[in-house]
Amino acid sequence: MASRKTGEFERIATFFAPLAAGFPGALGLTDDAAILRPAEGAELVVTTDTIVAGVHYIGDEPADLVAQKLLRVNLSDLAAKGARPVAYTLNIALPTAVEDDWLERFCAGLAADQQRFGIVLAGGDSVATPGPVTLTITAFGEIAVGRMLRRSGARPGDRIYVSGTIGDGALGLKILRGRLAGIAAVHRDFLVERYRRPQPRVACGARLVGIAHAAMDISDGLVADLAHIADVSGVAAVVEAASVPLSTAAAAALEIDPQLRDAVLGGGDDYELLFTAPPDAAPSIAALAAGLGLPLTAIGRIEAGRGVCAVDAAGAEIALARAGYTHG
Amino acid sequence: MASRKTGEFERIATFFAPLAAGFPGALGLTDDAAILRPAEGAELVVTTDTIVAGVHYIGDEPADLVAQKLLRVNLSDLAAKGARPVAYTLNIALPTAVEDDWLERFCAGLAADQQRFGIVLAGGDSVATPGPVTLTITAFGEIAVGRMLRRSGARPGDRIYVSGTIGDGALGLKILRGRLAGIAAVHRDFLVERYRRPQPRVACGARLVGIAHAAMDISDGLVADLAHIADVSGVAAVVEAASVPLSTAAAAALEIDPQLRDAVLGGGDDYELLFTAPPDAAPSIAALAAGLGLPLTAIGRIEAGRGVCAVDAAGAEIALARAGYTHG
């Protein structure tokens, strides 16, 4: 235990303390705890994710990308709650074979995203493992008391919206697994980047407070995540499949293989926002989209009932690959 | 990912949601985030620890003990900061071979300690791993703004105190590793229990606010942890070795093998409080000890200088096994 801890202290001082600079509550990572105090009238939103090498990312993925994906997945959760990012803690379990240059690149990825998204390291833990790299981030955001966006607020009559484009993450993963060999290089690169480095919609999420009835981010896939909103809200969701916004690259992929529509509706890793809002919010949402330069697209409707289904442009139900979600 | 997530949702509903009952900010674990709001005039203290099967505990340790040790290690950190426990998040990475009965017992351990220490589950994440069980708890406590006990407040002239008895955890670990065969069964059981199920000094820590100048819990060992306080406080610490309080069982172990004194001063896993306070606080500390029924023993003094040393009853310096800490 002594040698593990000695290594830990050196690593903290060398690699992690610089990431905590400028956040008084981190106490320079020299104490056993950090201090978090929400601003007057605000409360803290807490979210946490764990990733494992070989399970959640390919084991030889560059360390800076691994760091940024983990941080961004958490930032995406904060965005979906309408919260402003404040700080995060990091728990790393590393095999002894992991060299300092891996850690250096990992922390460089964090440093770049801390700047980009206005979040800072507050504390953490570093241990050795005989298993794969295992990483946990717990992220803290602030929001005005009682205003956090939830999954549970969808109401019949709401329109369903998504930010950005859908399916890119799942298609990017297929490419990394050797599929879609016929796609143009520019599209391949775009889709892989979308999988590897999601764009948490932090500014958008904060602006949806007071507009959206329910919100979450798309991590498990559009249909599965919409099912979560429908379930906890006690409503049914109808996806108008032709309205689901596709990137140019995703559209090109579907031209090659129309079967990939299942990956678009069912695949995960988009980290776009999924939210519902009443019809009279449409002008506000259009203005928000214009202001952010981010498409916010209506893709369906909330109805009384239970479950999720998808319909085509003629209104006919489309069979979804995941039958568990079709009992609309 | 679909099957992993389905499993995750079932596990959350079955095993974890009951642990979050009664904490509104957990939202029944049905959302992507939890809400934490410190009471008026308070701020949040955050601490986090990760443990790995086969590294931080013996792989076949009963699951309820694993859960309780992890939770208590975090509670001990909150105690050392003077904070009142509020809530925690849990991240579990489990091999697929782990059965539901392991998880059931794990959660039973958490449930019992939630009752015992007044803390509740607020959220978390559950993933699969090809490696060993890897567990992270991030614990949140409350303290009046600006009052958190720190490592950095020790001043020359302070007395050094510990709660409870020292060395039991390290001796318990030695027994689990097959050492100390000659010790009586009653002592063996006591020491092993002390290693397996530390007693976080939550009530004591909260009462030390306003009394202690510096505090931390003893996890790496008395000398190593005192070195942390001395380092960040910019002072020297002198341990009067004969004053270090031993349990009856530890005293019996040292009778069998006097060399074990190194394990007492240098070994970890006690999770007792280590703190410094000015001489005029002695009556308050004595009254606190009496009120809690917990020994609080003066074991040394803070001086100007750097580093940690130990002296015998005659004031002669004792060589410490970990030479790095002897340059007092």
Query: For chain A (length 328 residues), average pLDDT per consecutive 10?
Result: 51 88 86 91 96 88 95 97 97 92 96 97 94 97 96 97 97 92 95 94 97 96 96 97 96 92 89 98 98 98 96 90 42
Asked if B44's CB is within 8 angstroms of A152's CB, the reply is: no
Amino acid at B208: L
Say if B55 is an interface residue toward chain A (CB within 8 Å): yes
Whether A130 contacts chain B with CB within 8 A: yes
With contacts defined as CB-CB under 8 Å, which chain A residues touch B148? 33, 35
Q: Both tokens of residue A22?
A: 């400028």
Cβ A322–B131 below 8 Å, yes or no? no
Residue pair A295/A163 in contact (Cβ under 8 Å)? The answer is yes
Contact A33 B130 (CB under 8 A): no
Closest approach of A285 to chain B, Cα-based (Å): 23
Distance from CA of B124 to the nearest CA of A (A): 6
Which residues pair with residue A140 across a beta bridge? A46, A87
* Yes or no, beta carbons of A127 and B152 under 8 Å apart: no
Is A262 part of the contact surface with chain B (CB cutoff 8 Å)?
no
The mean pLDDT of chain A is 92
| Rounded-to-integer distance, Cα A71 and Cα A75, Å | 6
| Strands ordered across the beta sheet of A236-240 | A214-217, A273-277, A159-163, A296-303, A236-240, A307-311, A317-318
Q: Which residue bears the tokens 């820590």?
A: B205
Residues from chain A that touch B55, judged by Cβ atoms under 8 A, are 127-130
Q: Residue A29 and residue B150: Cα distance in Å, rounded?
A: 12
Residue type, A151: R
d(CA A321, CA A265): 9
CA dist A242 to A221, A245, A318, Å? 17, 8, 11
Q: Alpha helices, DSSP H only, in B12-126? A: 17-20, 63-80, 100-117
Q: Tell me the pairing of strands B34-36 and A42-52.
A: antiparallel
Residue B93 in contact with partner chain A when CB distance is under 8 A: yes
The two three-digit tokens of residue A123, written as one number: 């504390």
pLDDT-based confidence at residue B58 (cuts at 50, 70, 90):
confident
Q: State the pTM of this model.
A: 0.93
Give the tokens for residue B172.
Answer: 């318990």
ipTM metric: 0.91
B50 touches chain A (CB under 8 A): yes
Residues of A in contact with B217 (CB under 8 A): 32
B155-167 confidence digits (pLDDT tens): 999 999 999 999 9
A148 inside 8 A of chain B by CB: yes
Q: Is B14 on the interface with A (CB under 8 A)?
A: no
Cα–Cα dist A33/A14, whole Å: 19
For residue B39, with 0-12 CB atoms within 10 Å meaning exposed, 13-18 middle and 19 or more buried, which class applies?
exposed
The alpha-carbon gap from A32 to the nearest alpha carbon of chain B, in Å, equals 6
Which tokens belong to B100?
A: 């539901």
A39: contact with B, CB 8 A cutoff = no
The verdict on a CB contact (< 8 Å) between B36 and A43 is yes
Per-residue confidence (pLDDT) for residue A321, from 0 to 100: 66
Cβ distance A44 to B47 less than 8 Å, yes or no, reads no
Q: Can you tell me the distance from the alpha carbon of B6 to that of A76, in angstroms, rounded to the nearest whole number?
A: 21
User: Is some CB atom of chain A closer than 8 A to the CB atom of B37?
Assistant: yes
Put simply, the answer to whether B43 touches A56 (Cβ < 8 Å) is no
Neighbouring residues of A138: CB distance < 8 A, sequence distance ≥ 6: A46, A47, A48, A74, A88, A89, A91, B48, B89, B91, B138
Buried (b) or exposed (e) across B270-300, using 16+ Cβ within 10 A? Answer: bbbbbbbbeeebeeebeebbeeeebebbbbb
E strand residue ranges, B10-52: 34-36, 42-52
Distance CA B306, CA B317 (A): 15
Give the B window 167-206 contacts with A, CB below 8 Å: none
Q: Residues B239-247: what's their mean pLDDT?
A: 96
Task: Output the pLDDT for position A322.
Answer: 55
| Residue whose entry in the numeric block shows the structure tokens 């942890």 | B225
What pLDDT sits at residue A1?
30
DSSP A69: H
